[in-house]
A and B are shown apart, each in its own frame.
Chain A
Amino acid sequence: SSELTQDPAVSVALGQTVKITCQGDSLRRYYASWYRQRPGQAPVLVLYDKDNRPSGIPERFSGSRSGNTASLTIAETQAEDEADYFCNCRDSSGYHWVFGGGTRLTVL
């Protein structure tokens, strides 16, 4: 299967650590990228190549992979982190891309 599965919603207390997961067979072969999308805005790349951050993304964002599961961890979660988060990677062909359904992160 080339699908990526995410929990629809996760909540975290302000200042705490939260892990958002993404499952799919393609993740055994390819690293996930992660995107943050705030309401009414386009997605923004926050993590790539398992655990690398584009410039401007805080060190609080980190990633990992185990088997068919990729994870995005946000430490010291801030109110500004409240958003939808999507994982993404190549499908089994290597030439197409798949996205997860997204996880809505609520900061309490």
Chain B
Amino acid sequence: EVRLLESGGGLVQPGGSLRLSCAASGFTFGAYAMSWVRQAPGRGPEWVSGITPSGYNTYYADSVKGRFTISRDSAENTLYLQMGGLSAEDTAIYYCAKYTAGLDGFDVWGQGTKVTVSS
């Protein structure tokens, strides 16, 4: 079964940092691009960051560029998102999503991990 399992969310103070993880199983992790997508309460999803299968190329939404870093460890089948300079606007459920080029879409999503930025 193809599965993504996020972890690392929680309550963090404004200006703080947090590292999210996404454990992948059931597919050849190193063969697929991956992304982080977040969803604030009552809002539509917002693409945050993406990484190519090799990890060589990374992409960021303007809203997080310079503050967030995406990375992957294919030996551990894990995707990461290092978040810094957090503000209330970053409060959301963060999903990792598998991108399949043949579909040009995100065909597998994790259950999400909740990040709350508040003092």
Interface secondary structure of B, over-half rule: strand
A42, A44, A95 interface centre (most CB from chain B within 10 Å): A42
- B111 near A97 (CB under 8 angstroms)? no
Q: How far is the CB of A97 from chain B (nearest CB, A)?
A: 4
The number of chain B residues with a CB under 8 A from chain A is 20
Does A24 make an interface contact (CB < 8 A)? no
A96 to B47, CA, bound (A): 8
Interface secondary structure of A, over-half rule: strand
Does A33 make an interface contact (CB < 8 A)? yes
The number of chain A residues with a CB under 8 A from chain B is 25
A54 to B108, CA, bound (A): 11
- B104 near A33 (CB under 8 angstroms)? yes
A6, A30, A54 interface centre (most CB from chain B within 10 Å): A54
For B48, give the chain A residue with the smallest CB separation.
A97
B46, B47, B59, B105 interface centre (most CB from chain A within 10 Å): B105
Q: A42-B109, A42-B112, A43-B109 are in contact. Are A48 and B103 (CB under 8 A)?
A: yes
Tell me the A residues contacting B by CB distance below 8 Å: 6, 30-31, 33, 35, 41-45, 48-49, 52, 54, 86, 88, 90, 95-102
